Amino acid sequence: MASPPRARGGIPATTGRRPMARGELHGRASGASGASVGPAAPLTAYAPVRPPIRRTAAEAVAFLRQRSVLADDPALPRGQGRPVLVLPVLGRGDRHTVPMRGALERLGYRPFGWGLGTNAGPTPRLLAGVEHRLLALHAEHGPLDLVGFSLGGVFARLLAHRHPDKVRQVATVCSPFREIVDSAFLPLRPFLRAWGTPDLPDLAAEASRPLPVPGTFLFSRTDGIVAWESCIEPSRPEDCFEVPGPHVGIGQNPAVLAILACRLGRDLSGEAPSRG
């Protein structure tokens, strides 16, 4: 069976996804298309725009229609047994990542959950626990690929910054690592103390810095939970990929799987980290 045609970045052209061009780095939600994109602005000028309420309302409907499995695609590249640590969204645990981990396993990867229960945010327990999980898996399997969904992607970026020798690459899926606190559909600042982490502003700044390892950054312009502009890496537009669909469905999205399979399976020998 012939392989499907490839778009730029090694992604199957049939997914309709592609890397961003440099003129698409900044935009504001407007109209039915979900975004009106203008010229790139300096990174220091970026201010997130919360998703409009109509998109957030659509997320509630999509939540009730979620699928529980991901269909296999024999055309996707194989994983050659590489280990992958998969980190869940806020408010969910390893059960949420079962469909994606199952699909990656069938593609030949060795996916692992984070084993820490519900992702309750950047609490001291979870920050220490996910770091211990990475170190333990690395001791047994060597450098890992990290895949983080939404807030899980912020955890993945922190791990890569602190242990770049133990992380092969990072893929974030609809993860608002830029201006994290102000990117959600609800204001988060009044609730920061509930996490019990005194250095949250420093952690947010650390997570937003360009990665010291290769990265892949997925976003959806129809995201009703976080500002999609907060999920892209301005210094690496060629590593940013748009996917269709709502935020609540990212763990069961076939387009997400297709991009992850192609990006996780690529040869990184000539890849530069995400520094601008």
d(CA 229, CA 80): 33
> How far from 11 is each of 19, 222, 257, CA to CA, in Å?
9, 21, 11
What DSSP designation does 166 have?
Answer: T
Q: How far is CA 187 from the centre of its chain?
A: 21
Mean pLDDT of the chain: 83
pLDDT in tens, 215-267: 999 999 999 999 999 999 988 999 999 999 999 999 999 999 999 999 999 98
pTM for the structure as a whole:
0.83
| Distance (Å, whole) CA 72 – CA 88 | 21
Tell me which H or E stretch contains 274: none
Backbone angles phi, psi at 151, to 5 degrees: -60, -25
CA 15 distance to own-chain centroid: 18
Q: Taking a C-beta distance cutoff of 8 angstroms, is the pair 36, 27 a contact?
A: yes
> What was the pLDDT predicted at 161?
98
pLDDT, tens only, 7-42: 344 454 444 455 655 545 443 322 222 332 233 333
Distance between CA atoms of residues 87 and 54, nearest Å:
28
Tell me which residue of 108, 236, 233 sits closest to 175, measured CA to CA. Answer: 233
CB contact at 8 A, 176 and 185: no
Q: Rg of the chain over CA atoms, in angstroms?
A: 17
